[in-house]
Each structure stands twice: as structure tokens, then as C-alpha cells.
Amino acid sequence: MDNVTFNKIVEVLDREIKWAFETRAHAESQSAVNYWSGYYSGLKSALELLLKVKSSLN
């Protein structure tokens, strides 16, 4: 994966993480909070894994 593609993926994940965090903060029910917490957590894990893979390839 080239750096341009990697940076675009990281940018999209970062934007989604911020959006999910804000959406979770405004959720009106506990089930919505739980949903957005899981979504946020999954995105954050994906970003962390992607960064680990990238650093191991360098």
C-alpha cells in the first residue's frame, strides 16, 4: 500500500471516529449510546491495527 492510499484511509477512519464520538455524545437512548460506543470502538481498533501494520512494514 502506498503512502497516499494509507493516508487517505487513516483520514477517513479519523473522520469517522470523530463523527461516531459526537453522535454517541448526542444519543438519546441507552441502546443508541451502546450502538455508537461499539461502532466507535471498532473504528478505533481498526485504526490502531492499521497503524501497527504500517509501522511493521517500514
Q: What is the pLDDT of residues 1-57, one digit of tens each?
A: 688 888 999 999 999 999 999 999 999 999 999 999 999 999 999 999 999 988 888
**The pLDDT value given to residue 3:** 85
**The pLDDT value given to residue 46:** 93
Task: Give the Å distances, CA to CA, from 14 to 7, 23, 29, 30, 54.
Answer: 10, 14, 25, 24, 16
**The pLDDT value given to residue 2:** 81
Cα distance between residue 40 and residue 46, in whole Å: 10
Range of the domain at 51: 3-57
**The pLDDT value given to residue 57:** 80
Question: How many domains does the chain divide into?
Answer: 1
**The pLDDT value given to residue 54:** 86
Query: In the chain, helix, strand, coil percent, each to 5?
Result: 90, 0, 10
